[in-house]
């Protein structure tokens, strides 16, 4: 049986690694963030500790890998909850994968396989942060931000999203701010991934027909598209 100090160390280390991955997901407004990843990683480490040391003195013949295998397969249910389908696009796969790999990291740390757990954690963070920026630079021309000035009303954002989907574009990020002292008090920045054949003018004309829309333009352009 390992010491209590070693048990505490493994649980804390696993929570730190999971928290680092969760912070990256949280900063990008993903469905599973900081606390979720900590819970998954720490819980996986605990399961591994229980499977290895929790049944000592109860006889031989147990298989420590049995509980660990259940974690690897069972985490799929939690990951599936982060995957969303919007039209022809699927969102949340990266977050689901990060939850799954955090479970694996927790199992490794719980087992005392520190090198594997730490290196995997570093690779995951590098993949999510650095490779994410690399991917955005590679496909920079595919991402455009539409700036919309409009009057706030219920259902407006949903109508805009529906129109974007009809033109086979994918909404990657949306940011909004309000101005109480202005008639057109809502400013929307909608970042979309555009398809190969994309009719921007038609999309803008369709958006402008929505009730309450005052102005539509590319954020990186001064001219308006009518």
The total domain count for the chain is 2
Distance, CA of 159 to CA of 89 (rounded, Å): 17
Is residue 41 domain-shared with residue 53, that is, in the same domain?
yes
Question: Domain containing 211 — which CATH number?
Answer: 3.30.70.260
Domain range enclosing 204: 140-218
Over residues 156-212, the pLDDT tens digits come to 888 998 888 888 888 878 888 877 666 667 888 988 888 877 888 888 989 999 988
The answer to the question of residue 224 being in a domain is no
Residue 39 has pLDDT above 70, yes or no: yes
The answer to the question of residue 100 being in a domain is yes
Is residue 149 domain-shared with residue 197, that is, in the same domain?
yes
pTM equals 0.57
The answer to the question of residue 75 being in a domain is yes
3-class SS string, 30-67: CCCCHHHHHHHHHHHHHHHHHHHHCCCCCCCCCCCHHH
Distance, CA of 190 to CA of 114 (rounded, Å): 42
Is residue 152 domain-shared with residue 122, that is, in the same domain?
no
CA diameter of the chain: 77
Is residue 101 domain-shared with residue 13, that is, in the same domain?
yes
Residue 225 has pLDDT above 50, yes or no: no
Q: Contact at 8 Å (CB) between 121 and 22?
A: no
- Average pLDDT on 113-137 reads 84
Domain termination site, one of 114, 138, 162: 138
Is residue 154 domain-shared with residue 134, that is, in the same domain?
no
Is residue 62 domain-shared with residue 150, that is, in the same domain?
no
Strands 213-218 and 143-150: antiparallel
The answer to the question of residue 119 being in a domain is yes
**DSSP summary character for residue 28:** T
The answer to the question of residue 223 being in a domain is no
Is residue 19 domain-shared with residue 119, that is, in the same domain?
yes
Is residue 29 domain-shared with residue 115, that is, in the same domain?
yes
Is residue 83 domain-shared with residue 149, that is, in the same domain?
no
Q: At 158, give phi and psi (nearest 5°).
A: -65, -40
Percent of the chain with pLDDT over 90: 16
The answer to the question of residue 195 being in a domain is yes
The answer to the question of residue 209 being in a domain is yes
Is residue 77 domain-shared with residue 118, that is, in the same domain?
yes
For tokens 């995951």, name the residue: 124
Q: What is the pLDDT of residue 114?
A: 92
């Amino acid at each position: 049986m390992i010491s209590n100090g070693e048990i505490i160390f493994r649980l804390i280390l696993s929570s730190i690694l999971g928290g680092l991955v969760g912070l990256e997901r949280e900063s990008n407004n993903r469905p599973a963030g900081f606390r979720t990843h900590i819970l998954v990683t720490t819980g996986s480490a605990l399961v591994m500790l229980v499977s290895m040391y929790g049944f000592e003195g109860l006889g031989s013949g147990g298989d420590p890998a049995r509980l660990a295998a259940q974690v690897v397969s069972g985490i799929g249910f939690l990951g599936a909850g982060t995957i969303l389908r919007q039209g022809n696009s699927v969102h949340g796969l990266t977050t689901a994968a990060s939850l799954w790999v955090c479970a694996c990291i927790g199992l490794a740390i719980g087992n005392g396989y520190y090198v594997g757990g730490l290196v995997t954690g570093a690779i995951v963070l590098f993949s999510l942060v650095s490779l994410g920026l690399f991917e955005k630079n590679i496909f920079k021309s595919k991402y455009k931000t539409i700036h919309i000035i409009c009057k706030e009303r219920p259902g407006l954002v949903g109508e805009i999203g529906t129109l974007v989907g009809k033109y086979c574009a994918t909404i990657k990020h949306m940011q909004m701010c309000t101005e109480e002292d202005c008639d057109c008090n809502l400013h929307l920045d909608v970042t979309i991934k555009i398809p190969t054949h994309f009719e921007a003018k038609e999309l803008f004309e369709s958006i402008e027909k929505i009730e309450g829309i005052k102005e539509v333009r590319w954020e990186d352009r001064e001219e308006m598209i009518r």
